[in-house]
Structure 1
Amino acid sequence: MTLLIADDVTQRYANSSFDGALGGAVLRSVTLALEPGESVALVGASGAGKSTLGRVLLGLEAPSSGSVRFRDNDIAALRGADYRAYRRAVQVVFQDSMSAVNPRHDVARIIAEPLRHLSTLAKAARRQRINTLLAQVGLGPEVANKLPGQLSGGQLQRVCIARALAVEPALLVLDEAVSNLDLVMQIQILELLAGLRQRLNMAMLFITHDLRLIRRLCERVVVMHEGEIVEDCPAATLRFNHPAARRLQEAILPARPNALGEGNRVSRG
């Protein structure tokens, strides 16, 4: 059974600034299916519609037309226990970790938030779960008592990942979740996520504009352009036909310019 699907989704905003190329629509008849355990990169230039699609899949926005179905059930019709099951199953990590947490709450309280609302764990069991989650994301138990301002950007993003994992989701949506970090930290976080995904058999949707990173985490790449999906291919090949997808590929910077400063080639040394 398909885990989550956006089916023929169009999204329009009143008084939108997208009235040019998109014809007033930020998303235009988008269909995207995510299977259990699958890892998909959703890429595109700024304004392509990828973050809007992510918000629609998360139920943070209702589409203007079309539907989002979770395990064959329209999320707009979910109520009570069924809605809670969907909220547990689909979690998100956003780009700006500092704005995603309450700066006055310590790490333990931040991670405990979904446990309080979406689980039946007692207080002692929640504390034990928090320590387990911190260990899963490579942080020690002493971090639990720290405030967000006492952590580095990479540490705080790991806290946000731990919070998202707290209720054992079936799908983790990562909306530009590493773009605020330097390249070394990006690679560390992606390797952490790849390991967690395999151990937990969890699906992931990695929303990004950076094609350099996707092979470390994803099996499949979906490219958006002007509110539409224009490519869908294996991450191992990255063979694109659409001009917009090719432009993204051509814009990838080399990992290390050669000694002559010719930045258009990757050194083989």
Structure 2
Amino acid sequence: MTVLLAAEAVEKRYRGPGAFGGGPARTVLRGVSLSVREGESVALLGASGSGKSTLARLMLGLDRPDGGTVRCLGRPLDGLDAAGRRTFRRTVQAVFQDPLGAVNPRHPVGRIIAEPLRHLTGLDRQGREARVAELLRLVGLEPEDAGRLPGGLSGGQVQRVCIARALAPQPRLILLDEAVSNLDLVLQIQILDLLAGLRERLGTAFLFITHDVRLVRRFCGRVAVLHEGELVEDRPAGPTLAFDHPAARALLEAVLPAAPSAARPSR
């Protein structure tokens, strides 16, 4: 399978505290390598502060690594010309944690979803409107919702709008950075089932960044674990998921049971 996006031994450091950053640099990522192939659903799992979002920024080209390389379809992001960056943006899209913070509250839903269509496709106005209606249906909303403002929708509905926007230019990979963590468990499952259905229908690959093992088991075929800036596990995911590294095992042990045990001793 084609490798769509790959981080190769990436390093990231941030300047130390102080007005001029004169303190010692803080290393956030150390030699991390991670790839996503065509049609895969890969989880990047880790506790808060492990470096997940920093790696996401590097893989989206929003920040540059201090060492190593990020490649899209084999081409280093640092060396892309204008045409290459356009191809990259059509190939890789993202959905972030805060749906309301990711949209312009003054713009109607239709304009929000059409934004990448204006910049990344050659569709005319009529074609964009037809594509927006198609995308709204695809994510479980109605074409009439195109005229609504984000403030009139629920959080789960706005996240569906963000997913529709990410799907608009027909990307081959969508990066989900804690994209369901602000939703309740029922909505999380609904969104992930929606995305799983889209993966089957469209062949879209996903890089799912999360701290929640339960969601990894449900949605992903492979899981990589990041701990203190280092990749400590990379293995198939599934209902019987098990890890070797102590930090990864701790994430498994932190998952609460679905219901209290009936055998709990009385007090």
- The alignment's TM-score, normalised by the length of structure 2, stands at 0.93
Over residues 109-131 of structure 1, what are the superposed CA-to-partner deviations in whole Å (9 max), with x where a residue is unaligned? 00010001111100000000000
The Cα of 1:212 is off from its aligned counterpart by 0.6
Q: Are the equivalent residues in 1 in contact too, given 2:8–2:34 (CA < 8 A)?
A: yes
Alignment correspondent of 2:110? 108
The Cα of 1:47 is off from its aligned counterpart by 0.4
Which of 161, 164, 185 does residue 162 from structure 1 map onto?
164
Alignment correspondent of 2:252? 249
Q: Are the equivalent residues in 2 in contact too, given 1:16–1:24 (CA < 8 A)?
A: no
C-alpha distance in structure 1 between counterparts of 2:220 and 2:243, whole Å: 16
C-alpha distance in structure 2 between counterparts of 1:261 and 1:199, whole Å: 44
- The alignment's TM-score, normalised by the length of structure 1, stands at 0.93
* SS of residue in 2 equivalent to 1:11: strand
Alignment correspondent of 1:49? 51
Matches within 5 A, 1:87-166: 87-166=89-168
C-alpha distance in structure 2 between counterparts of 1:189 and 1:111, whole Å: 17
Q: Are the equivalent residues in 2 in contact too, given 1:194–1:216 (CA < 8 A)?
A: no
C-alpha distance in structure 2 between counterparts of 1:100 and 1:260, whole Å: 45
Alignment correspondent of 1:189? 191
Which amino acid in structure 2 is aligned with residue 246 of structure 1? Answer: R
C-alpha distance in structure 2 between counterparts of 1:90 and 1:26, whole Å: 24
Q: Which runs of 5+ in 1 are unaligned?
A: 263-269
Q: Are the equivalent residues in 2 in contact too, given 1:173–1:205 (CA < 8 A)?
A: yes
Stretch deviating more after TM superposition (230-239 or 102-111): 230-239
Q: Are the equivalent residues in 2 in contact too, given 1:233–1:239 (CA < 8 A)?
A: no
C-alpha distance in structure 2 between counterparts of 1:30 and 1:54, whole Å: 12
C-alpha distance in structure 1 between counterparts of 2:264 and 2:86, whole Å: 54
**Residue-pair matches, total:** 258
Over residues 60-115 of structure 1, what are the superposed CA-to-partner deviations in whole Å (9 max), with x where a residue is unaligned? 11111111011111011111222101011100000000000000000000001000
The Cα of 1:198 is off from its aligned counterpart by 1.1
Q: Which runs of 5+ in 2 are unaligned?
A: 19-23
Q: Are the equivalent residues in 2 in contact too, given 1:97–1:153 (CA < 8 A)?
A: yes
Q: Are the equivalent residues in 2 in contact too, given 1:178–1:186 (CA < 8 A)?
A: yes
Q: CA RMSD in A?
A: 1.5
Q: Which runs of 4+ in 1 moved over 6 A?
A: none
C-alpha distance in structure 2 between counterparts of 1:161 and 1:125, whole Å: 19
1:14 equivalent to 2:10? Answer no
Q: Are the equivalent residues in 1 in contact too, given 2:217–2:241 (CA < 8 A)?
A: no
Which of 195, 203, 206 does residue 204 from structure 1 map onto?
206
Which of 232, 242, 246 does residue 239 from structure 1 map onto?
242
Distance 1:186-1:16 versus aligned 2 partners, 3 A rule: farther
* SS of residue in 1 equivalent to 2:98: coil
